[in-house]
Amino acid sequence: MKVLIVGSGGREHAIAWKVSQSSKVDKIYCAPGNAGIEEYAECVDIGAMEFDELLAFAKEKEIDLTVIGMDDPLVGGVVDVFEAAGMRVFGPRKNAAFLEGSKAFSKDLMKKYNIPTAAYENFDDPDKAIAYLEKAEFPLVLKADGLALGKGVLICNTLEEAREGVKAIMLDKQFGDAGTQMVVEEFMTGREVSVLSYVDGKTIKTMTSAQDHKRALDGDQGLNTGGMGTFSPSPFYTEEVDEFCKKYVYQATVDAMAAEGREFKGIIFFGLMLTEKGPKVLEYNARFGDPEAQVVLPRMKNDIVEVFEACIDGTLDQIDLQFEDNAAVCVVLASEGYPVAYDKGLVISGLDAFKEKDGYYAFHAGTKKTDKGIVTNGGRVIGITAKGADLKEARANAYDAVKWVDFANKYCRNDIGKAIDEA
């Protein structure tokens, strides 16, 4: 089989690595890819939003399966373009990817189908939003409706902050058209857990749990980022939580989407908050998490291509999804200054140490091959993943491997997985 993967981050590197383990696959392409993905795939210089070029390439190379890693092309309808041309593609159609593409839609869906989530109001008029906020109690959360690279969420402690937030999102359009609508949401406290799942339109199979670290600095300080590190499984995702979510969240979401005429095939990523009043959905994503994929996929036992095909064919009920009984930790090596301003083009050393080393992975995100060698090419540069018999061992292994790699402005959080000690 020939597989095309669309995307260029650490998540797509993890997907490419996992696809390369499949006995069904002879050749992998990735558009546009990165320096790490090149180890398993032929990278082609087509952007993830260039749908016509992607389709023409897939046809020319007679690709058997295209896997979309990123949210933007999914929300933009790349799956519809491929399906209309008779190509097999893994991911939700545009009308289903809307689950991630519009927070206002996802909140209304949860309300209509009684899926537990924070109380909220949607606004498309900034004056009405302000009038509502003037009577509200703080803290509150403001969310730009559309895609905003994980940055369109503002936690406001005072009315003054909320006024500035409304201005930033709806008037100054800091997140572009994502801010045409805005959700105002109740502030929740608790542990966050990411549960990723495979969905075939009717059946849902959840993967092992993970926890992300969204803030840039140690102690959950600094700005929100795409994610600075993950561990899997989450010790806080107990059987009781799992049972609750199976009963009220997972299948309910799949059924709700089907009932709305938005059949969902692909990955649903449930961002959960474990509150005192039980688990609640913080957000949905319509794709693998980044860096959740980097800890979940190395622990997955199944041939991922078989699972992707079962999702497309509607036969996921026949798949016995299995994960290793161990743990994994991913520490993201970023460029100092991320997520604001940072240098690129700095030479990366030490990557050879990962070759032939079982249970250790360097999943590239912002990297590029040049005559000088592999250089940094983004804010999040490489995710260092290590497995271990348990979370503590995996964490020690990951921080050990962090030392093998170097570049001039290398920065990472030193407390990824600290929560493990509180479990």
Provide the binding-site residues for ligand GLY, judged by CB under 6 A: 150, 212, 227, 285, 289-290, 292
Per rule CB under 6 A, is residue 72 in the interface with ligand AMP?
no
Distance CA 94, CA 269 (A): 16
Q: Which does 118 bind (CB under 5 to 8 A by kind): ligand AMP, ligand GLY, none?
A: ligand AMP
| Nearest Cα residue to 41 out of 60, 52, 27, 53 | 27
Instruction: Find the shortest distance in angstroms from Cβ 53 to ligand AMP.
Output: 30
Q: Write down the least CB distance from residue 192 to ligand AMP, Å.
A: 6
Strand partners, 66: 4, 89
Stretch that binds ligand AMP, among 8-16, 165-173, 185-193, 356-364 (CB under 6 A): 185-193
Could you say which of 125, 187, 247, 372 contacts ligand AMP (CB under 6 A)? 187
- State how far the Cα of 329 lies from the Cα of 355, in Å rounded to an integer: 18
| Cβ-based nearer residue to ligand AMP, 34 or 194 | 194
Which one of the spans 180-188, 295-303, 376-384, 415-423 is the region binding ligand AMP (CB under 6 A)?
A: 180-188
Map the footprint of ligand AMP across residues 253-282, applying CB under 6 A: 271, 282
Which of 188, 190, 187, 184 minimizes the C-alpha distance to 163? 184
Residue 184 binding partner per list ligand GLY, ligand AMP, none, with a CB distance cut-off of 5 to 8 Å that depends on partner kind: none
Euclidean distance between CA atoms 311 and 266, whole angstroms: 6
Strands 327-335 and 229-232: antiparallel
The reply on whether position 87 binds ligand AMP by CB under 6 A is: no
Distance, CA of 252 to CA of 266 (rounded, Å): 16
Listing DSSP states for 241-263 in one string gives HHHHHIIIIIHHHHHHHHHTT--
Among 90-98, 181-189, 237-245, 356-364, the segment contacting ligand AMP (CB under 6 A)? 181-189
Count of residues binding ligand AMP (CB under 6 A)? 15
d(CA 381, CA 410): 9
Q: Both tokens of residue 92?
A: 């939700």
Collect all residues with Cβ–Cβ distance below 8 Å to 127 and sequence separation of at least 6.
none
User: Is 319 in a helix, a strand, or coil?
Assistant: coil
Q: Which residue, 12 or 212, is less far from ligand GLY as judged by CB? A: 212
Alpha carbon distance 367, 365 (integer Å): 6
Cβ proximity to ligand GLY, 64 vs 292, nearer residue: 292
* Least gap, CB of 261 to ligand GLY (angstroms): 26
Window of 53-61, 84-92, 150-158, 403-411 that interacts with ligand AMP by CB under 6 A: 150-158
- Read off φ and ψ for residue 206, nearest 5 degrees: -85, 150
Among ligand GLY, ligand AMP, none, the one that 192 touches (CB under a kind-dependent 5 to 8 A) is ligand AMP
- 192 lines the binding site for ligand AMP (CB under 6 A): yes
Q: Are strands 120-123 and 182-186 parallel, antiparallel or unpaired?
A: antiparallel
Print the binding letters for residues 214-233 with ligand AMP: x by CB under 6 A, - otherwise: x-------------------
Q: Does 178 help bind ligand AMP (rule: CB under 6 A)?
A: no
286 binds ligand AMP (CB under 6 A): no
User: CB of 390 within 8 A of CB of 325?
Assistant: no
